[in-house]
Structure 1
Amino acid sequence: MSSALDLNEKALEADIEKDLESDPRNTALSNHEKTFEAGVLGPETPPVQEEENNDTQPDPNALPRPPDGGLHAWMKVFGGFLVYINIWGFTISYGAFQTYYQHKLLSDSTASAISWIGTVQAWLLIMVGVLSGPLFDLGYFRSMLYAGNFLIVLGIMMLSLATKYWQVFLAQGICMGLGAGLLYIPSLALVGIWFEKRRALALGIVMSGTAVGGVCYIIAFDRLVPTIGFPWTMRVLGFIALALAIMAIPCLLSGSSMLARPRKARSLFDKTAFADSLFILFTCSTFTTFLGYIVPYFYIAAYAQDTLQTSESTALYILVACLAGSFFGRLLWGYVAQKSGNMVAWLGCAIVSGIVGFSWIGIDHESNFIAFSVMWGFFSASLVTLPGSAFPNICPDLSRLGTRLGMSWGISSIASLIGAPIAGALLKTHTAADGTTKTNFLGVQIWTGACLLAGSVCLAVLWLATVRKQKTGWFI
């Protein structure tokens, strides 16, 4: 989930390149920032004189070529980084809320019911994000930027007033999820428009806000709740989110007034995809891995407290260690994928993640659990970063890349929605001889490992089928 956002990078690049290549003026445009800003800030870029034999008319809605740098471009990166701290920071840190809700605020609710709040938030982020891409193409970025940030801050502030399950669900699950979805894809797309050769670097900086936000919000939550209570903690976090939004908005809007002009939006559905065996295998692979991927992030802190008897603070810092592992894993596996092939690296990490998931069953010491958490974050990070890089290898028509990836991602997002609640329903509680209540996490652990290994089998079949069909070698 934490970096689900990486799946859309290739789709965004394909869409942006398609827009750029459709305009014959672009062949004569310079990459210099001054030329780009003239097209963005000025009333209209003067048309370039066409060759006599070229009857193609220029597209008035096409964008000039990206400058790959300059003040406005890097302001977009900084603004996107701040936005991702908010939209993914609260989503990826939900494990801290899960533990607090189970033990205090919503102690009358089951772990499965509580986990629905976080999974609905993540699911809306992804599904609304898929839909917000075409809205961005139609020129509604400014409206989505204001509405998305408003909904996030409103959700946090309303959460500070919540005392019942349905109130928490509406504030954190629905309101914050909708707001994050409106900002998810447009923030990446905007950065992609300003960068070409440095696009991977720029998008990597933006998406690093995911881990930064998760770590910062977890630490703030841990330090503030014992001293000022949950309501005021959420208000403080709400003001932090508001400050980040106030800084991000002018950065993202600087030099981008021309984005209000509509461009051709990509299609949301391609029925021919369901006749493509590689597309079906790819979707099955992501669906099964997503069923188990998100589970430890939700239950690591709860396991540390309930089974290992750690303090609440220690449990949250173990979750922070897991997120730190995912940050470094995302960087390393991206490099490995460039050398060995995206699908090979993806398959290897899925197998190792499944084994690590099953190893959770035998952990009964705090030090071992810390090692498990770091390893889980390190290896599982690739399960949401590499699929987007691997998808172009199985897409027969790159002009449909964005549409098909959006379809596959939309289907797989359902797994993110139901995975943690199913695992929560497998939790068993019993009363020990000393009268204390114990929680048995065996069902959660088996579910995690089984889903990852099932996904590995699907991935292996996809890999072999792709090699056989394309005949381009094993390292793909």
Structure 2
Amino acid sequence: MSTQDNGSKPGLLPRNNTINTSLNPTTSPQTCQASPPQDSDCQVIDSSGEDVESGATSPVNEKVEAIYPEGGLQAWLVVFGSFSGMVAGFGYMNTIGIYQAYLTEHQLSEYSESTIGWIFSLYIFLSFFCGLQIGPVFDAKGPRVLVALGTVFLLLSVFLMGSCTKYWHFLIVFGVLGGIGTSLIFTPAVSAIAHFFMLKRANATGLAATGGSVGGVIFPLMLQSLFPKVGWAWALRIQGFIFIVLLIPANLLIKSRLPPRPGGTLLPDFLIFRQPAFAIVTIGTYCLEWGLFIPITYLTSYSLASGAMSSTFAYQIIAIFNAGSCLGRWAPGYMADKWGRYNTMVGTIIGCMSTTLALWLPATVFSTRTSGPDGVPSTTIFALTVTYALLMGFASGSNISLTPVCVGMLCDTEEYGRYYATCYTIVSFGTLTGVPIAGAIIAACDGAYWGVATFTGLCYVCAGACFLSVRVMKVGWKLNVLY
């Protein structure tokens, strides 16, 4: 069979051991990228793992399964440890909408939305930016020390935040300590799964990533109930005690398996951006994260300002968002292993774009026209907002679970931590600026939210164009190709 020239030698497994396959055995064989150290011929196989030309079981799959366990007790314990760590780390991240709404009404009520937004954007920025060094350290040294340090930083953040009263307190305790702690936990949690899974990597990563959504459901509902009963300080301390329970299995179970790449260093390598596909995926991921954290941060504030629901339900809207995301982080990963990782990613991005522009944008516009004879009923705004939270939560789940898998398809597994970390070093600057930009847009629109809804939708338009471009670069426009 013929292969494209990707700077690889013939007779090797595809790069990252991933095969672009055709759903139709009669179509021309698709392209494989080669990567050492395997020596089997690159073959076109269908989703059942059979050789398209001979009908026999593909030796490519047999080789991959020999290198990667693709299951077993140890592999699934790693997934569970990653899940547990992400309930704490990403659960902390997915609760920022509750923190933002509470601080805006209480401790930081004298500050503008944009100014308060810098606290949360700094947190998100460090959560991703620190991966620049954490990824290569994971590749060389493994996850043990990283996860232990992340546990210390994250626990310090959540316990100390209960005592914060001033702006700079929150900037340091939540923004700096919390951001570094989250990064130290989630980067090894994601990277470790790649050492145990290849053919089922998207599914395994998606299962682990649901932990963040589970935390994003539990913690907002818990805090909403605790704030009036025990106050801000003790509500955060109770959350901290739960983090201790969650981070114990993360420290015990997250582990690496593959040895570091010979000659590897701890230094990041920005020369990999000379690969056009990787550069475009990084731009697309930048736009994804730019758009994702705007509704996570401001959906509760919008719900409070809309007047379409009670303040109690407004605090629950982010839990509805994360409930949709819980299924949305696993299901696309499961489908991606069968339908293609980039194919599924493009589909979910279209879902994010369409729900934002077709549901949230009209709701924000209607919120400005609730009075007068032509006013829009609050029930309409309520229905649009709740539907958006649920559907957008589902569609955006892949932003976290599938992105590392898509990045991993462009590199060897031994370099996965470096590629993933380098990508998110650039992406982190989008998370640093996205939330304050949204706050400035709200101010420019006199407190209305139609501007941020439009901005969010456009972010997903750009992200979809990038991921679709890489898909076309690799396998062309044929719709029946798994990639």
TM-score (norm 2): 0.74
User: Contact (CA 8 Å) 2:87, 2:211: kept in 1 or not?
Assistant: yes
SS of corresponding position for 1:297:
helix
TM-superposed CA distance for 1:328, in Å, is: 1.5
Distance verdict in 2 for CA 1:187–1:397, change over 3 Å = closer
CA distance in 2, matches of 1:82, 1:11: 30
1:259 positional shift: 10
Alpha-carbon deviation of 1:350? 2.0
Partner of 1:372: 388
Aligned to 2:220: 218
The one of 123, 126, 145 equivalent to 1:124 is: 126
| In 1: Cα distance, 2:225 partner to 2:321 partner | 19
Task: Give 1:182 shift.
Answer: 1.5
Corresponding residue number in structure 2 for 1:451: 459
Percent identical among aligned pairs is: 27
The question of whether the paired residues in 2 share the 8 Å contact of 1:350 and 1:455 is answered with yes
Correspondence for 1:330: 329
Q: Which amino acid aligns with 1:347?
A: V
Structure 2: which amino acid aligns with 1:461? S
- C-alpha distance in structure 2 between counterparts of 1:373 and 1:421, whole Å: 21
**What corresponds to 1:315 in structure 2?**
314
Alignment-derived partner of residue 22 in structure 2:
none
Deviations 1:70-89 (A, max 9, x none): 4x655544433322111111
Relative to its length, the structure with more helix (as a share) is 1
Of residues 325-334 and 191-200 in structure 1, the stretch that sits farther from structure 2 once superposed is: 191-200
Task: Output one character per residue of 1:224-260: Cα deviation in whole Å (capped at 9) or x when no partner.
Answer: 001111111111112221233345434558xx9x999
Q: Contact between 1:78 and 1:206, CA under 8 Å: does it hold in 2?
A: yes
Change in 2 beyond 3 A, CA 1:274/1:22: closer
How big is the shift at 1:407? 2.2
Question: Could you tell me which amino acid in structure 2 is paired with residue 350 of structure 1?
Answer: I
Q: Using a 3 Å threshold, how does the CA distance of structure 1 residues 287 and 234 change in structure 2: closer, same or farther?
A: same
CA distance in 2, matches of 1:449, 1:385: 20
Deviation at 1:69, TM superposition (A): 2.9
Partner Cα distance (2:195, 2:280) in 1: 31
Map residues 88-103 of structure 1 onto 2, 5 A cutoff: 88-103=90-105
Q: Which residue of 2 aligns with 1:353?
A: 352
CA distance in structure 1 between the aligned counterparts of 2:127 and 2:334, rounded to whole angstroms: 27
* Distance of aligned partners of 1:236 and 1:304 in 2 relative to their CA distance in 1, 3 Å threshold: same
User: What's the secondary structure of 2:402's corresponding residue?
Assistant: helix
Report the AA paired with residue 69 of structure 1: G
User: Offset at 1:147?
Assistant: 2.0
Deviation at 1:321, TM superposition (A): 0.9
Unaligned runs of 5+ in 1: 1-9, 15-20, 24-63, 431-437
1:110 matched to 2:96? The reply is no
| Structure 1 counterpart SS, 2:165 | coil
Map 1:336-415; keep pairs closer than 5 Å: 336-359=335-358, 360-363=360-363, 364=367, 365-391=381-407, 395=410, 402-415=417-430
Residue 175 of structure 1 corresponds to: 177
Is residue 139–residue 415 contact of structure 2 (8 Å, CA) maintained in 1?
Answer: no
Whole-Å Cα distance in 1 between the matches of residues 344 and 299 of structure 2? 25
Q: 1:78 to 1:250 in 2, by over 3 A?
A: same
Contact residue 291 and residue 415 of structure 1 kept, 8 A: yes
Distance 1:196 1:464 in 2: 22
CA distance in 2, matches of 1:207, 1:12: 21
Q: 2: distance between equivalents of 1:307 and 1:74?
A: 44
1:422 and 2:437 are equivalent in the alignment: yes
Superimposed CA distance per residue, residues 34-81 of structure 1 (whole angstroms, 9 cap, x where no aligned partner): xxxxxxxxxxxxxxxxxxxxxxxxxxxxxx9859434x6555444333
* Residue in structure 2 matched with residue 4 of structure 1 by the alignment: none
Distance in 2, Cα, partners of 1:309 & 1:164: 31
2:89 pairs with 1:87:
yes
Query: Counterparts of 2:479 and 2:308 in 1: how far apart (Å)?
Result: 52
Give the aligned partner of residue 49 of structure 1: none
Q: What root-mean-square deviation, in Å, do the aligned CA atoms of Structure 1 and Structure 2 show? A: 3.7
Rounded to whole Å, the distance in 2 between the matches of 1:261 and 1:286 is 26
Aligned position for 1:228? 230
The answer to whether the Cα contact below 8 Å between 1:288 and 1:454 also exists between their aligned partners in 2 is yes
User: Are the equivalent residues in 1 in contact too, given 2:203–2:330 (CA < 8 A)?
Assistant: no
The SS at the match of 1:105 is coil
1:69 to 72, 76, 94: 72
1:96 Cα shift?
Answer: 0.7
Tell me the residue number matched to 2:295.
296
The reply on whether 1:273 has 2:281 as its aligned counterpart is no
Change in CA separation of 1:137 and 1:281 when aligned onto 2, cut-off 3 Å:
closer
* Larger deviation, residues 188-197 vs 99-108: 188-197
1:442 aligns with 2:450: yes
- Paired residue secondary structure (2:296): helix
Q: Quick one: which of 236, 244, 251 aligns to 1:242?
A: 244
Deviation at 1:176, TM superposition (A): 1.3
- Is the 1:428–1:441 Cα contact (8 Å) retained in structure 2? no
Per-residue CA shift, 1:270-324, capped at 9, x if unaligned? 4543333323322222222322122111111111111135333201221111111
Check conservation: 1:12, 1:402, Cα contact below 8 A: no
Structure 1 residue 193, shift from structure 2 partner: 4.6
Greater Cα offset, 403-412 or 90-99:
403-412
3-state DSSP of counterpart to 2:151:
helix
Equivalent residue letter for 1:224: L
Cα distance in 2 between the residues matched to 1:297 and 1:361: 15
Q: Are residues 140 and 351 of structure 1, via their aligned partners in 2, closer, same or farther at CA, if it must alter by over 3 Å?
A: closer
Q: Given that residues 84 and 211 in structure 2 are in contact (C-alpha distance below 8 angstroms), is that contact kept between their aligned partners in structure 1? A: yes
Change (3 A) 1:107 1:125: same
Q: Secondary structure of the residue that 1:310 maps to in structure 2?
A: coil
Letter in 1 for 2:463: G
Range 80-89 or range 309-318, more displaced: 309-318
SS of the aligned residue for 1:239 comes to: helix
What amino acid sits opposite 1:407 in the alignment? T
Distance 1:223 1:471 in 2: 51
CA distance in 2, matches of 1:422, 1:407: 24
Q: 1:461/1:137 Cα in 2 relative to 1: closer, same or farther (>3 Å)?
A: closer
Answer whether contact 2:287 2:463 (CA < 8 A) is retained.
yes
SS where residue 106 of structure 1 aligns? coil
Q: Distance in 2 between matches of 1:193 and 1:399?
A: 8
1:467 maps onto 2:469 in alignment: no
Distance (Å, rounded) in 2 between the aligned partners of 1:329 and 1:456: 17
